[in-house]
Amino acid sequence: MQQLLVFPEHEAAGLLFIAEKPYSLDDTQIEWLCEASGEITLPTCEYIGIVFNHNVAVRREVLSKLDPSTIQLVYFHNPFELVFDELIEDLFELGRDENDDSSANDQDCELLASIHGLRALNISRSQISSKGLAFICELQSLESLSLSLTRTNDEDLPMLLNLIDLRELDLSMTMITDRGLATLAKMNKLQDLSLSACSLTDDALDELLKIPNLRFLDISDTAISDEGLSILQAGLSACQIQF
């Protein structure tokens, strides 16, 4: 079976790719397809994704018209460590203006909320507020969410409990502190958790130990001590800990 995806013809919105799974992606697990421009016929597959370029107008045109059943993975910048040829490098620079911030904001989040089948979302380095995060948390199908380098704080975290299938969460370099981890401890399906460069101390240990299914935990560049690391390693014996 095949499916038809329709994008603006006047300018490519980014790049399309197929992924083996919806989260913990790297460049060995994806197949780059083509530019997101015009009508594109693709074989039906479980995980089709798009990496948007910096053209805000085109990005929002796509999000406002996208068939919710066609795209499962959305990235607002290129998260993959790939060596692009000049054509692709130029594509990712489309719309970039030194005087204009093209990062995602609450308006993008509101448009995203209509893509009910979305499985993975990377909205790191964005300008979203609590209002934008509330829109994202309507996406109950999400399995992977990156909020790295956003203004996400402890008060925002209860909204994430609505994401009942979330398995991967990146909160690195956000405003999360020890106080917010009691909420994360309630996320029973969480497997991969990144808290690098957050304001964490050994007071966070008890709550981290309550997350039952962790396989990977990044607590690098925090104030957790070597003794605290040893406690986590003993209590989360099946978890790889990056310190």
- Cβ atoms of residues 133 and 162 within 8 Å: no
Structure tokens at 144: 């992977």
Reported as a single tens digit per residue, the pLDDT across 175-231 is: 999 999 999 999 999 999 999 999 999 999 999 999 989 999 999 999 999 999 999
This prediction's pTM: 0.89
CA-based radius of gyration for the chain: 18
> Beta strand pairing status for 2-6 and 192-194?
unpaired
pLDDT of residue 234: 97
Average pLDDT over residues 133-139: 97
Reported as a single tens digit per residue, the pLDDT across 25-72 is: 766 678 888 889 999 998 777 789 998 988 888 899 999 988 888 899
Residue 81 has pLDDT above 70, yes or no: no
Instruction: Compute the distance between CA of residue 216 and CA of residue 105 in angstroms, rounded to an integer.
Output: 29
pLDDT of residue 69: 82
Instruction: Compute the distance between CA of residue 71 and CA of residue 18 in angstroms, rounded to an integer.
Output: 10
Domains and CATH numbers, the chain: 2-175 (3.80.10)
Q: Pick the more confident residue, 70 or 168.
A: 168
The residue to which tokens 């909320």 are assigned: 113
Classify 239 in phi/psi space as left (phi over 0), alpha (psi -120 to 50) or beta: beta
